[in-house]
Structure 1
């Protein structure tokens, strides 16, 4: 499948960002800078880029959570719900700063971003410079009704499923969440959106990892990302009974049988360190200590403010 990626050149090294999987790759052939259509099967074979060895003036990718509100109350949620939510005008300004920063990939999260009426406008604004690709992470509850308007605004959509069955998923997300999410996935695929399923990997659902891969193949999703649970926010109360070590997660995901056309990623807590997050009140930080701490905390008043100091730096 040909889909959108973003490329940039750092001191002669070309890096390609995948908006669905969230990975960065080193292409073995020349790729023009900017947004470019590439075969996702080809990109999957390219080696991963290590941001720590690149001369970066800005993050390769980032998460933007412009909304705090959510229609669900998941007990493993990591969001800080005490944060002030930005206004529509503040969101518009922040989107323009992101667009001008040069960042390759932006995942719009929350809260639940599909509660934002201006979500398509925000995505278009970020993509307007032709340097960034945009994804969105959603619980899928409202995806079926919004898939049509999002298909021209997003380069990929990530749908959270905490189980491959309604019995498991709805235990965490609430009654009817599984049916609504699956309906939304089908609608998004029909609209031509590239869909990546995401599971927060826990003791309670790791047994359904293989079933989730098989479900992705049946629904026409392009892949599955297994996310290591972060013991922060509401999820801190569940850490003792639900958190898997990175080694345990590898033991779960490594032996899985991957259906043709499905891409799989395990995002460990270690790999989440150093990631840039822009939260709803306009402050940005970098993750540290396995994404359980921060190394910078600055108000974003312009694109340069997204060039955060790296962990361990003196700035």
Structure 2
């Protein structure tokens, strides 16, 4: 049993999984807001693309309250030129998200564990009924896992390789060992934990199965492979490192005998996703996630609606 977020839309209930980021059509009537459910039962319910849910609000959003990071991944989605809001403004954003009808908030960055007030921001979102996840490079997770354990519903740790040689090539010496220590600390404290890995042409073929094997050894709940998006600093690598969605799907098809939950987030699936960046501006991935558009400042909860000034459906 773990925490999800559910809400009735029309004649059906939908459930957001903060660990995988997936949306499911519920097989039973549920309450609204944060609910404790069997992860096995939820996984058996049909997955649906959030865009298929008839709702005026996004099912989930990514909130990146900072651009600062202790690492410098060359494919980073963030635009380092975006200014960061001060502390009181972060709380204003957190409260607006809590007031909205959004089921899931993934706090990312930059590196969110650099925020001293991260636990308190999570508390605001949880009080509003959202399921909350944190996406981190894991290097500070071991020292901050205690503060997160009673609050966050899931942690997603980004790895670039199944060992130090392959991971540290992208993220710097020692980063793999710190991330693995963080994963172990989170699991020991009962935090649902998943590995996320960006697929790069130069490394994916030799790393996919090894990453799943590492996940099984560590005891994490699953692995999500992410298609590289040509956004932010990562745009410079797109021509040489991007796999097509078909190529990525073919790689994962080789894992047909794996029992651990493994999924691929294609670029198509990332299209239309809503991001709140560190400047408090709402951004939305364009169809196919080949670019991201800045929309307008988040000033009221209604600004998050999919049918406001950006013209999205």
Gaps of 5+ in 2: none
Distance 1:81 1:53 in 2: 33
TM-score by length of 1: 0.95
Matches within 5 A, 1:105-254: 105-129=104-128, 131-206=129-204, 207-254=206-253
Matched with 2:70 is 71
Structure-2 residue corresponding to 1:49: 48
Cα distance in 2 for residues equivalent to 1:159 and 1:53: 28
Is the 1:213–1:258 contact (alpha carbons within 8 Å) kept by the matching residues of 2?
Answer: no
SS of aligned partner of 2:237: helix
Contact 1:288 1:311 in 2 (8 A): no
Distance 2:239 2:178 in 1: 30
Instruction: Give the Cα–Cα distance (whole angstroms) in 2 for the partners of residues 69 and 312 of structure 1.
Output: 28
CA–CA separation in structure 2 for the residues paired with 1:308 and 1:140:
32
Q: Deviations over 1:82-126 (max 9, x none)?
A: 001011100011000000001000000000000000001001101
C-alpha displacement of 1:311:
10
Assess, with a 3 A threshold, how the Cα gap between structure 1 residues 81 and 165 changes in structure 2: closer, same or farther. same
Instruction: Give CA-to-partner distance per residue, 1:173-203, whole Å, 9 cap, x none.
Output: 1100100000000000001100010000011
CA distance in 2, matches of 1:196, 1:311: 35
Corresponding residue to 2:266 among 268, 273, 280: 268
In the aligned structure 1, how far is the partner of 2:296 from the partner of 2:307? 10
Normalised by the length of structure 2, the TM-score is 0.96
Structure 1 residues not aligned, in runs of 5+: none
Aligned residue pairs total 312
1:142-195 deviation line (CA, Å, top 9, x unaligned): 000000101111000000001111111000111001000000000000011000
Q: Which moved more, 1:24-33 or 1:140-149?
A: 24-33
Aligned-pair Cα RMSD in Å: 1.6
